[in-house]
Amino acid sequence: QKSRCKWLRMGDKNTRFFHGTTIARRRRNKVFKLLNENGDWMEQPAELERMVTTFYIMLFTDEGHMEPFSLTNAFSRLNEDELSTLEAPISNGEIHNAVKCMSGFKAPGPDGLQAMFFKSQWDIVGNAMCKLIHEIEVVPSRVADINETLIVLIPKMENVSSLKQMRPISLCNVSYKILTKVLANRLRQVMEKLVHPNQCSFIPNRQSKDNIIIFQEVIHSMRYKSGAKGWMAIKIDLEKAYDRLKWDFVKDTLLDIGFPTQFVNIIWACISSPRMRMLWNGETLDEFLPSRGVRQGDPISPYLFILCIERLFQLISKEVEAKRWQPIRLAKALFPILLLLMILSYLPKLL
């Protein structure tokens, strides 16, 4: 209790205590050895750096051609007002509002800046930032100029022995995050219409804890159901789900929804043009170009991931309509439970 009080009183002040805790955390997160694919320990710094870069180059590299999705036109159709909002020119007010909504002191990206700099100096840098985003609106490929990313690895546990036990977090340039924050704010307005009520994460007027409660009720109901046939729930843990998401599938999903072409083109330019570097034990490693994946730390990534997962729900719904699957119904007045999506700390888990 005393240590907690001390942290509340001194934790974020520029004191010896603050710098001591920062240094201790940095040492705790530093990795000195890892197991390779053959089960051998790698301890030399050069070997570890090569191993880390190779692992993430392979993770972010597309493995081949994507088969066309078998189900189309299953999303709810957006009306003219909603489409007009999405394709309307980005206003300076939207850009400034996106900046104000951003957390001010998150870790900086390759530009070395935090959002608080743009918040406090908006009178000076605001016009230049708005001009940049308006230029990207006209020529979406220009987003590549600001689309640099540092990938920092956060251990999921103490004493990690494998890269799979570390979570990659993307540190993007603030200018890039302002653009995708604007896009995410627009996308957020239509998510409730596009995504089934079973899915709660990142959807306005819904909370992830609702699905946790529903899940508990489902298990309770299954436990006390009677009859000749039993019931089964399948839990799927999607390993590296963000990192393996195919760009072509994301674009196909956005087009299937019926989003305006210009809106899709800007999102496509954002997700398909990053340049990445690993930030390993405080050192920046060689740059590489990914060919798949959306980044944890990019404001628009959660919405793109949920829209893509919604297509899995659509496939399951089709199986239910064909009477090949039977959903769980907790009460006659409630919709049947086909799929629950819970994203906790950016770890996608499906039921």
* CA distances in angstroms from 296 to 166, 169, 266, listed in the order given: 13, 5, 19
What one-letter code names the amino acid at 225? K
Q: Is residue 342 pLDDT above 60, yes or no?
A: no
Q: Domain for residue 250, yes or no?
A: yes
Q: Domain for residue 18, yes or no?
A: no
Exposure letters 112-139 (e unless 16+ CB within 10 A, then b): eebbeebeeebeeeeeebbebbeebbee
Q: Is 321 exposed, middle or buried (0-12, 13-18, 19+ CB in 10 A)?
A: exposed
pLDDT of residue 32: 82
User: What is the extent of the structural domain holding 102?
Assistant: 46-350
pLDDT of residue 204: 85
- Backbone dihedral angles phi then psi of residue 40, each to the nearest 5 degrees: -95, 145
Q: Domain for residue 13, yes or no?
A: no
Distance CA(268)–CA(255), nearest Å, equals 11
Q: How confident is the model at residue 2 (pLDDT cuts 50, 70, 90)?
A: very low
- Backbone dihedral angles phi then psi of residue 257, each to the nearest 5 degrees: -65, -30
Structural domains counted in the chain: 1
Across the beta sheet with 275-280, the strand order is: 166-172, 148-155, 275-280, 283-288
- Rounded to 10°, the helix 80-87/174-194 angle is 170
Q: Is residue 344 pLDDT above 70, yes or no?
A: no
pLDDT tens digits for range 90-144: 999 999 999 999 999 998 999 999 999 999 999 999 999 999 999 999 999 999 9
pLDDT of residue 279: 92
- pLDDT above 90 coverage of the chain, percent: 52
Q: Is 310 exposed, middle or buried (0-12, 13-18, 19+ CB in 10 A)?
A: buried
Distance CA(43)–CA(136), nearest Å, equals 44
pLDDT of residue 333: 56
Q: Is 274 exposed, middle or buried (0-12, 13-18, 19+ CB in 10 A)?
A: buried
Distance CA(95)–CA(65), nearest Å, equals 37
What is the mean pLDDT of the segment spanning 152-178? 90
Q: Domain for residue 109, yes or no?
A: yes
Structure tokens at 340: 């629950």
Select the highest-mean-pLDDT range: 239-248, 317-326, 335-344: 239-248
What one-letter code names the amino acid at 320? V
Q: Domain for residue 325, yes or no?
A: yes
pLDDT tens digits for range 13-23: 666 665 566 66
pLDDT tens digits for range 56-105: 999 999 988 777 777 888 899 999 999 999 999 999 999 999 999 999 99
What one-letter code names the amino acid at 128? A
pLDDT of residue 59: 93
**For 251, which DSSP code?**
H
Q: Domain for residue 215, yes or no?
A: yes
Cα torsion angle, 255, 260, 261, 264, sign: negative
Check residues 293 and 29 and name the one with the higher pLDDT.
293
Could you give the residue ranges of the DSSP H alpha helices within 195-273? 208-224, 247-257, 261-272
pLDDT of residue 336: 63
pLDDT tens digits for range 184-224: 999 999 999 999 887 887 888 888 787 788 888 888 888 87
What one-letter code names the amino acid at 95? I
- Its pTM stands at 0.85
Q: How many CB atoms lie within 10 A of CB 317?
A: 18
Distance CA(219)–CA(262), nearest Å, equals 45
pLDDT of residue 78: 95
Q: Domain for residue 26, yes or no?
A: no
pLDDT of residue 16: 66
Tell me the average pLDDT of the chain.
85
1-15, 187-201, 310-324: the lowest-pLDDT one:
1-15
In the chain the beta strands, taken as DSSP E runs, fall at: 34-35, 41-42, 148-155, 166-172, 236-237, 275-280, 283-288, 341-344, 347-350
